[in-house]
Chain A
Amino acid sequence: MAAEHQINAGFMPLFDSAVLVAAKEIGFAAREGVDLTLSRETSWANIRDRIAIGHFDLAHMLGPMPIACNVGLTPLASDTIVPFSLGLGGNCVTVSTTLWAGMAAHGALPDLDPARAGKALGALIRERANAGRDPLRFAVVHPHSGHNYELRYWLAACGIDPSREIEIVIVPPPFMADALAAGRIDGYCAGEPWNSASVVAGTGHIATVKATIWKTSPEKVVGVRKAWAEKHPEALSALLRALHHAARWCQDPANRGELAALMAQPSFLGLSPALQMPILTGHLALGGGAELTVEDFFLPFGKAANFPWKSHALWFYTQMVRWGQVKHSAAHMALARDTYRPDLYRAALKPLGVALPGANAKVEGALTAATPVGSAGASLALGPDGFFDGRIFDPDRIDDYLAIRDWAMPTS
């Protein structure tokens, strides 16, 4: 069958592009009549530019990136919408072995506990400041990224001011391990496999992970040029169905070996299949021989991982405001909310008869355990979705959330 729809998509070499890659390579796109062309890019800026000028119809994007485009934070932006999320979790905070030794001396344990690790890091930072040493330097992949916001959230909740007490720089993910090994940075927050890469090299230690800072939290999305989506609604629907099947395939433990081998290919990540396994199993080598299995470390499909919750968009928006990237206004907030499009997700998947969330937004951090929210016939489980500091984000009470001044957890 000749493909009815030609779609050009860009991606960055990160494991969470897997759903797009599987859609193309395992044949889910072809089955929906979509001829999907994937182009690997070298920077998020290139992805943004190529979406804007029409080289790409859609792309693998950082969750906050389309919001940043729509509120005008980036040059050459175009209206971009998010009808599909590429997964939950998957990031780690990795520190140099030297920094880890310093944190361990202040009580950090290889248990990934964000509160304990953060407390130790705070003590070390104050000790360094008293000794007149330079602030520690952390790297994230992009200013408008889940990585930047979760690193800052974690540090602030642990009583560390990320804008004053440390320095945050931007480093492309494939360069993180080298920068850490060379001592140009002391730590970083990035997606896999770029954390395990440092652990395997013996130069890094995973201090904590996104899946413990905020359980089942949003990460990458499919960003679509709005003008294209409006002109080609059937192509978009077909692609979303293909992505749904691809995501289900990626989540199935029976396919881990095949998926790891696929992502290991030079045209995707170009790293050994063994390095792709930690994100798939959640079983992480932390460094120094310590190992731990993290529940829901990365979910490409489970727990409604592909649903573009408006509460996720709004949480990203609050972090943009919190860290001074955008001024809070009703207009900006509406732009952020309208960026994520659960209506398009639902419309595309409805013919499949699968379980779909009934609401467009949820109170984040309210579920302390996995909770069935089954709609008629089909079942769906959400959560746990808690923030490690116990805070709740209610998308209907954004002003209250933004009014919080003291984010530090009470010290025990």
Chain B
Amino acid sequence: MIRKSLTVLVIDENHIRASIIEAGLREAGHEQVTVVHDVAGIARRIAEIEPDVIVIDLENPNRDMLENMFQLSRVVKRPIAMFVDRSDQASIEAAVEAGVSAYVVDGLRQERVKPILDMAISRFNAFSRMARELEEARSELEDRKLIDRAKGILMRSRGLSEEAAYALLRKTAMNQNRKISEIAQSLVTAAGLLDPGES
């Protein structure tokens, strides 16, 4: 028996994450994938596309609107329920933890949907990891800039060498059990208060 391929609708306001999901679906052989970033006019789009599976990010505040639309089911062919089988508690938990939810046309068999959901979960998690790493790199860069400015202040005001200025920051941080960047921030703030030209 030849199975009709599933039609998948991805609703995600985050363009980058949506394209990562879309790429994942296409790699898995799903050709009928539609991505929507903005829920304006979504009822008409759903009526046109008639998706078998809808993947949506949990940050989306329009879930209540979508669920209401599914329940009224005037625009959607058949009622849609979240997940195929609510006995699959582990999947549901993994999805909510990853920040993704799925709605599935009633009657669709679980083994056909599970790979889609699993893929979405892993890609959502990968995206979060990437975003976190990016944020860490950004804050590390900012810390380094802050420490450089604090070193400059110490070098000018106390006539220290760069190494001595850094050693002083480091020693103070250790004594106060704080991060060097925190000491640097305090110093830059204090210097700014004492001399508006230095900030």
Contacts and interface: CB of A to CB of B under 8 A. Distances in A.
B89 A170 contact: no
Most chain B CB within 10 A, of A46, A172, A174, is at: A46
Interface stretch (B58-66, B153-161, B179-187): B58-66
B83 interface: yes
Interface string B107-119: 0000000000000
Given A49-B101, A76-B82, A42 B60 contact: yes
Nearest to B101: A49
A53 B94 CA distance: 10
B86 interface: yes
Given A49-B101, A50-B96, A43 B68 contact: no
- The majority secondary structure among interface residues of chain A is loop
B168 interface: no
Given A76-B83, A143-B68, A170-B68, A43 B92 contact: no
Interface string A303-347: 000000000000000000000000000000000000000000000
A180 to B, nearest CB: 15
Contacts of A73: 71
B38 interface: no
Contact of B89 (A53, A141, A142, A143): A53
A42 B57 CA distance: 11
Given A42-B59, A76-B82, A53 B92 contact: yes
Contacts of B48: none
Given A76-B86, A143-B71, A49 B64 contact: no
Name which of B67, B71, B93, B101 has the most chain A CB atoms within 10 A of its CB. B67
Contact of A142 (B64, B69, B81): B64
A192 to B, nearest CB: 18
A45 interface: yes
B68 to A, nearest CB: 5
Interface of A: 42-46, 49-50, 52-55, 73-76, 141-143, 169-172, 174-175, 184
24 contacts: A42-B58, A42-B60, A42-B63, A43-B60, A43-B64, A45-B63, A45-B64, A45-B67, A49-B82, A53-B89, A73-B71, A74-B67, A75-B82, A76-B83, A76-B92, A141-B64, A142-B64, A169-B65, A170-B65, A172-B61, A172-B64, A174-B61, A175-B61, A184-B40
